[in-house]
Amino acid sequence: MSKPLEVTITVGTSFSIGGAFSNPDEYSSVGERTVRCDGHGLKFMLDCFNHYNIKASFFIETAQHCYFGDEPMAAITKEIIDAGHDTQLMIHPCWYYYDQSGEYSMDDSCAGRDYGELRSIFEKSIGAFERIAGRKPDVIRCGNMQIDHQVYKLMSELQIPMSSSIGLGMFTPEGKDLLLCSGRSRIDNVMEMPLFTYRDMDVMGGFAKKTLQIASCSWREMRVILEKARREGIENIVLLTQPFDYIKKKDVQYQEITRNRVNQERLERLCAFIAEHDQDFVARDFASGVADWKNEEQTNNIRFKIPTRYRNMRKIENFLNDKLWNY
């Protein structure tokens, strides 16, 4: 019997600019509330993972230390580590606008930046991660999945062995070798393990790219994708979620929030499915996999489509969930 399909749940763990760039006189950036979400965010996730014995990789955003200092994210990171989960590094460069030691723009993309500025951003973010997590990261994720070849070359120079920074439904990088939907591919001496991307037919008859995320993909889609990937011999699927996926908010300052029932049920169903079908599926984080993954390419960059009916049901479900506060 072939080994189970590995499901890597990755959690983007970050604070929010909160409208402060566009309206600094009225708004300030929002910290822990964007992660804790009155118990509906991080606590809900940790409780869910614990109940189903699931290990996840939390990508900790550290550039925000320029605004908040180390302590708020350090407390969150300790809670994640104490719960037995993996931590890796995510970088949103826009936070360096608040860095008084240099001149940085509000641009939030790692792609297309000046090399010297990008190296400074990466070195400072890695240093902040080492302070709050107690070690150097094995994997880096670029915020908004905005990456280019220069980023991989820099990661190699900084001796970061892996990246998980491609999600074609979110951002399309330049270069055919970066159009990755699954698998593991070595790029400029760094192993890239992208978010899983699939296709479904849109209303114009085209096949739009869709990256696997709790916030936008229905449980029906996720189950079809997992079962099809298992049949087709895909070794690993990486998906994305964030603590704020599990709330609804009425403003960018997170002043009024409520539980997002639909997204919470999606995560619970995913975790229960993995736990109940442990002969076919297993949750595997980067901490347990990096020693193997960083050296072994898996170049079956499989692109597959799902039936249109699943897209239609997802569209209806997401529309109702977005529009109705108490749905």
- Amino acid of residue 326: N
For residues 83 and 49, the answer to whether their CB atoms sit within 8 Å is yes
What per-residue confidence (pLDDT) applies to 203? 55
CB neighbour class for 241 (10 Å; exposed up to 12, middle 13-18, buried from 19): buried
Can you identify the CATH homologous superfamily of domain 5-195+213-301? Glycoside hydrolase/deacetylase (3.20.20.370)
Residue 213: strand pairing partners: 240
What per-residue confidence (pLDDT) applies to 315? 86
β-strands 190-192, 185-187: how paired? antiparallel
**pLDDT tens, 166-184?**
999 999 999 999 999 999 9
Overall pTM surpassing 0.85 (yes/no): yes
- Amino acid of residue 151: V
pLDDT band of residue 206 (cuts 50, 70, 90) is: low
**pLDDT tens, 127-152?**
999 999 999 999 999 999 999 999 99
pLDDT band of residue 309 (cuts 50, 70, 90) is: confident
What per-residue confidence (pLDDT) applies to 139? 98
- Torsion of Cα atoms, 140 then 143 then 148 then 151, to 10°: -40
What per-residue confidence (pLDDT) applies to 175? 93
Minimum mean pLDDT range among 95-104, 227-236, 301-310: 301-310
Please provide the size of the chain in residues: 327
173: left (phi over 0), alpha (psi -120 to 50) or beta: beta
Interhelix angle 42-52/261-276, nearest 10 degrees? 20
Averaged pLDDT score across all residues of the chain: 94
| Positions of E strands within 82-138 | 86-91
- Amino acid of residue 81: I
For residues 244-270, average pLDDT: 96
What per-residue confidence (pLDDT) applies to 209? 87
Q: Which residues contact 134 (CB under 8 A, 6 or more apart)?
A: none
**Rg of the chain (C-alpha set):** 19
For residues 192 and 180, the answer to whether their CB atoms sit within 8 Å is yes
Distance of CA 27 to the CA centre of its chain: 26
pLDDT band of residue 46 (cuts 50, 70, 90) is: very high
Minimum mean pLDDT range among 46-55, 99-108, 127-136, 161-170: 99-108
Cα dihedral sign for 76, 78, 84, 87? positive
pLDDT band of residue 201 (cuts 50, 70, 90) is: low
Domain ranges of the chain: 5-195+213-301
Rounded Cα–Cα distance for residues 165 and 143 (Å): 8
